[in-house]
A and B are shown apart, each in its own frame.
Chain A
Amino acid sequence: MVRKRTLTFATLAVLVWAALTTILFGYYYLRFQEYVNLSREYEAVTMRVHITIDYGNGTNVWYNDTLVPLGATLLNATETVADVHSTPYPQYQAVFIDAINGIFTTETHFWWWKHWDSEAQQWKDGEVGADIYKLKPQETVMWQYV
């Protein structure tokens, strides 16, 4: 039989836990609402794109609905979801991707990008550098380690 004293202190502990979690829930709910309102405010100057990174070993990670500024390049967008190492080559007016999330290019493997052609329903190779290609709203792009 649980003693009245133990029960009293257990009740106090549960009360503290319940009050604290309620307060924390309120805090996170307000912060969430803040971000929702902020994203609504910026809707006119932002867009959502979908990025997938195929590491070439069967691992394929999707970053759906990534919020980027209007006119963002593929490189800008990729940098928002992954750790990107790149080297600029001013003579070619291009940037070369050295690594994404710690996976570096080698003599035999490198990072290649594609975009989804929704009319043809297939992936199409990127024709320009990632720093030049400007994304369109709701566009889907893929980085592939090939």
Chain B
Amino acid sequence: MPSLNARQIALLSVLTAVSLGIQLAPRPPNVEFTSLFAFIVGVLYGSLVGGFFGGFVMFVNGFLSPWGFAGFIMPFQIVGMATVGFAGGIYKRYVVGINPAKVCAEVAVLGAFLTLLYDIITNVGVAVPPALSGVSWHISLILAFSMGALFSLVHIISNIALFGSGFILLIKALQRVPGGETLWSEKELLHSQR
């Protein structure tokens, strides 16, 4: 884990609270902001923090979700969202020097791909209980994927829009927050000199 200063930890806490707040609020099924936040945290603080962030939000969501206790799916949701945060850290290495329009397009594609990956992982989780109760694995998986197909469609399309339009704006805004130490210490210095 990278060492984080107080301001970075505070920002992470706020982002976690915002993600959880949105995650637990009534909203259309599968329209969510957590994956965008997890990806952004990954870009800002690296793969490990991003992965932990995504996993933690889904862990809490698993207990408090308005749809009820996640049960068998929870570990799969945690792994899925951790993957999104982890991917943000990897993307960070390749994003330097790319023009913003291209970043928007790339992030939209990545958002679609990671959402698909998340849905595949969670659909495997949905297939586990029937498979354990005796239904054959391939039937359970086919049913899980086909029953979740329309939800996946909504999830992917909404995340293409969110990643494509929100990533640059949020990254720019959030990058200013941890960089404020210098500003604040200068202000404190000015006050102490008075």
Contacts and interface: CB of A to CB of B under 8 A. Distances in A.
B149 interface: yes
A13 B145 contact: no
Interface residues of B, number: 20
A20 B116 contact: yes
Contacts, number: 45
26 contacts: A9-B105, A9-B106, A9-B109, A9-B110, A12-B109, A12-B110, A12-B113, A13-B113, A16-B112, A16-B113, A19-B120, A20-B152, A20-B153, A20-B156, A23-B149, A23-B152, A24-B153, A26-B145, A26-B146, A27-B145, A27-B147, A27-B149, A27-B150, A30-B142, A30-B143, A30-B146
A92 B142 CA distance: 57
A36 interface: no
A15 to B, nearest CB: 7
Contacts of A5: 94
Contacts of A24: 149-150, 153
Interface string A105-130: 00000000000000000000000000
Interface of B: 94, 105-106, 109-110, 112-113, 116, 120, 142-143, 145-150, 152-153, 156
B126 to A, nearest CB: 13
